Structure 1
Amino acid sequence: MNKSPSSSRRFTGAAALVVLTALYVAQAGAVPQASTRVAPVPSADAGEPPARSGDGKARMERAEEADGVAAPVRGAARLNIDSGQQPEGIVAEPDGSVVVTFAPTRQIVRITPSGELRVLATLPAPPPQAETPAVGEPYAGGIVRAEDGTLYVTYATGTDDLTGVWRIAADGGVPRRVVALPSGGLPNGIALDTRSRQLYITDSFAGRVWRAPAAGGPAVVWSADPLLARHSEGFAGANGIRVHAGAVWVTNHDRGTVLRFPVTGPRSAPVAGRPETVAEGLGEIDDLVFTGDGDGLLVAGVTDSRVLLVRDGKGTPVLDEEDGLQNPTALARHGTTVHIASSAQYTLTDPHVLSATLTR
């Protein structure tokens, strides 16, 4: 997420090559998980890895402490900052493609495994005088994919007629707003509960989670717990969001925390239970993704340019700028493949989409 309307970012890169190992330790009452390894993913656009500082010794030592080893990383797609190709959200597709949101151009774009780009939709522009809370410019944020390929995207413009959740057909076309949200907020992360057909949307400016039917209709405040709020002088509160194992999980950007909200009540009108802070002290973070059916997860450390493996309430860096990461904003997993949107929103130099394979 941009902290100012003047921020820029771009993607360049070739292939992903990652190896890291992490041993998950079961908590009381949890199901033990096997060790997780991230292995290389070949790309059709292989090239030299990004330049690194030093010989990577510190990175190797850090990975070994997490029961893992890290090897060089390469990007999976080349994008053009001069064309406004600055990705914010990312979602994986079954064929190995990813779909990203380009915040400045308001575009939803499919990127194939070979690096080809196809614009699926462009969200309508607000009037020139419109100002989006916190970021200023129009903000195409998080994205989620339904089982039939339908895409849902958050969009903030500072105007009542455009701010909300927009739906795009799997093959693209004219986008349609299906959920209206207040213009004074910043809808950002989005998750879909496939069982209840409910969407959950974070508002990073107001510090809340909205709930709305995926079919479209009014949104309700699902939670406005103080743990979702940003710091008083901060930038963003509730950010990344996932539905997982009977709960809604949310990151807080400013506070560096991961929260778990149990889901209670009827399926047609789920209710937020009392939140639990499952991890803290993670720095300024953005998105999260689970590594499997258990509670092991990866978190994007956007400011510190790293990806953290979270276990036992703590985060261990497993990828960082030595691997080519530059301000990662979003994570996506399909099967054993994890995609990382490395946005370079502050470094403004050499961002990538990274891909890696989880093996057990």
Structure 2
Amino acid sequence: MPRHPRLATVAAATAALTVLAAGPASAVDPTVTDPRVVAHFDFAAGETPENIALEPDGSAVLTFALAHKVVRVGKDGSGPTDIAVLPTVTDPPSARVTGIVRAHDGTLYVNYVTGTEEENGIWRVRRDGSAPQRIVSVPVDGFPNGLALDEKCDTLYAADSARGVVWSAPVPKGDQEVEAAVWSSGAALEPTEEVPYGANGIKVHDGAVWVSNSAQATLLRIPVGKDRTAGPIGTRATGLPGIDDFAFTGHGDTALAALVVGSKLELVRPDGTHKTVLTGTDGLDNPTSVAVRAKTVYVPSASYFDTETPDPNLLLARISRNKL
């Protein structure tokens, strides 16, 4: 959720939402321990890590929203090393790179929010080092934020925070460009008058597309039909003020959610109850996304609301999955 002229309103409204409804402790909750910040970034240079994808060796691929870059950071914190720089957009000046996903062949797909007809949409970054290319156009008033890829059917899904919809598009073959189509819409995905960011994070998981709504502090599940159309939107968790992106801890429906305004990492159980597992005292500074690989949790922080001592960073922690 990048810095925006209305972010002061967003922060104030989100802070006023209901206090998190922490559910009862569970004997099978995953535990998150040993948090450590492995890399710090330069806020003044626009190095605000908005979203994350992981490479096979455990390196993190991050979008630097305000620098309009995609970079690689080693699991040991080495880097950042530039992978791609998106085209400069000067009008409007608020362009930012948001969601990212990585295909198994190493191809990266990223959302670029520009408000311009030529650039707004989903871009492809090939492994060969060639210039990034827009492959999916999104209307200029759309704000494609989170991004997900279903490789089983070569479909991209983007959560639009401004319009409050989920876009879908086939992954184009070759260099042709396609237009995004609204895959799911409804009040549950929309922003509010107080918080102008609705649908935000997005994941394809267990036969459904899951979406967070920052304005409504919810985590949603949208089943995917046999014909690939969207089923009815179901609310799976509430009381998550400032929820940005999220990741599942394994094959079940337990998730870890980044609460960007509250600087918290929240564990969300399948029954919708949740508890805080990391906070600002652990090094979080407006976390924006989460990734999980084996026993490691990755949490980028963008410091969007930290006006005193912004510390955009990448935090790693250990996750242990208890069994019945």
Same fold (TM over 0.5): yes
Question: Which of 307, 325, 336 is the aligned partner of 2:284?
Answer: 325
Query: What are the equivalent positions in structure 2 for 1:184-195 lying under 5 Å apart?
Result: 184-195=141-152
Query: Alpha-carbon deviation of 1:356?
Result: 1.9
Which residue in 1 is equivalent to 2:54? 92
Which residue in 1 is equivalent to 2:244? 286
Matched, 1:354 2:315: yes
Which residue in 1 is equivalent to 2:221? 260
Question: What do you get for the CA RMSD once the two structures are aligned?
Answer: 1.9
Which residue in 1 is equivalent to 2:30? 36
Question: Which of 190, 207, 212 is the aligned partner of 2:169?
Answer: 212
Query: Alpha-carbon deviation of 1:78?
Result: 2.4
Greater displacement, 167-176 / 283-292: 167-176
Greater displacement, 332-341 / 317-326: 332-341
Distance 1:140 1:147, change over 3 A: same
Query: Alpha-carbon deviation of 1:125?
Result: 1.5
Query: Alpha-carbon deviation of 1:5?
Result: 5.2
TM-score, normalised to structure 2's length? 0.87
Q: Distance in 2 between matches of 1:287 and 1:143?
A: 11
Listed one character per residue, the Cα deviations across residues 30-50 of structure 1 (whole Å, up to 9, x for unaligned) are xxxx5423344xxxxxxxxxx
Q: Higher Cα Rg: structure 1 or 2? A: 1
Q: Which amino acid aligns with 2:314?
A: V
CA contact (8 A) 2:50 2:301 kept: no
CA contact (8 A) 1:120 1:173 kept: no
Which residue in 2 is equivalent to 1:306? 264
Distance 1:288 1:24, change over 3 A: farther
Q: Which amino acid aligns with 2:4?
A: S
Query: Alpha-carbon deviation of 1:336?
Result: 2.7
Q: Distance in 1 between matches of 2:26 and 2:129?
A: 39
Matched, 1:196 2:143: no
Stretches of structure 1 that go unaligned for 5 or more consecutive residues are: 8-21, 26-33, 41-72, 132-136
Q: Distance in 2 between matches of 1:6 and 1:241?
A: 23
Q: Distance in 2 between matches of 1:125 and 1:355?
A: 31
Question: Which of 246, 250, 253 is the aligned partner of 2:211?
Answer: 250
Greater displacement, 148-157 / 308-317: 308-317
Question: Which of 274, 278, 297 is the aligned partner of 1:315?
Answer: 274
Which residue in 2 is equivalent to 1:50? none
Distance 1:331 1:6, change over 3 A: same
Matched, 1:240 2:201: yes
Q: Distance in 1 between matches of 2:255 and 2:195?
A: 25
Q: Distance in 2 between matches of 1:205 and 1:224?
A: 12
Matched, 1:148 2:142: no
Query: Alpha-carbon deviation of 1:325?
Result: 1.0
Q: Distance in 2 between matches of 1:281 and 1:307?
A: 14
CA contact (8 A) 1:120 1:171 kept: no
Q: Distance in 1 between matches of 2:156 and 2:295?
A: 24
Query: Alpha-carbon deviation of 1:120?
Result: 0.9
CA contact (8 A) 1:324 1:351 kept: no
Distance 1:334 1:100, change over 3 A: same
Matched, 1:295 2:253: yes
Count of aligned residue pairs for this structure pair? 297
Q: Distance in 2 between matches of 1:322 and 1:139?
A: 28
CA contact (8 A) 1:94 1:334 kept: no
Distance 1:209 1:355, change over 3 A: same
Greater displacement, 117-126 / 234-243: 117-126
Query: Alpha-carbon deviation of 1:224?
Result: 1.2
Q: Distance in 2 between matches of 1:233 and 1:313?
A: 24
Listed one character per residue, the Cα deviations across residues 301-334 of structure 1 (whole Å, up to 9, x for unaligned) are 1111101111121221111111111110011122
TM-score, normalised to structure 1's length? 0.78
Listed one character per residue, the Cα deviations across residues 15-63 of structure 1 (whole Å, up to 9, x for unaligned) are xxxxxxx9757xxxxxxxx5423344xxxxxxxxxxxxxxxxxxxxxxx
Which residue in 2 is equivalent to 1:4? 4
Listed one character per residue, the Cα deviations across residues 129-165 of structure 1 (whole Å, up to 9, x for unaligned) are 326xxxxx00100101111111000011111110000
Instruction: Tell me the secondary structure at the aligned position of residue 178 of structure 2.
Output: coil
Structure 1 runs, 4 residues or longer, greater than 6 Å off: none
Query: Alpha-carbon deviation of 1:173?
Result: 3.2
Q: Distance in 2 between matches of 1:231 and 1:24?
A: 33
Matched, 1:78 2:40: yes
Q: Distance in 2 between matches of 1:141 and 1:189?
A: 7
Which residue in 2 is equivalent to 1:177? 134
Matched, 1:116 2:79: yes
Query: Alpha-carbon deviation of 1:297?
Result: 0.3
CA contact (8 A) 1:240 1:287 kept: yes
CA contact (8 A) 1:88 1:101 kept: yes
Stretches of structure 2 that go unaligned for 5 or more consecutive residues are: 8-23
Instruction: Tell me the secondary structure at the aligned position of residue 205 of structure 1.
Output: coil
CA contact (8 A) 1:149 1:170 kept: yes
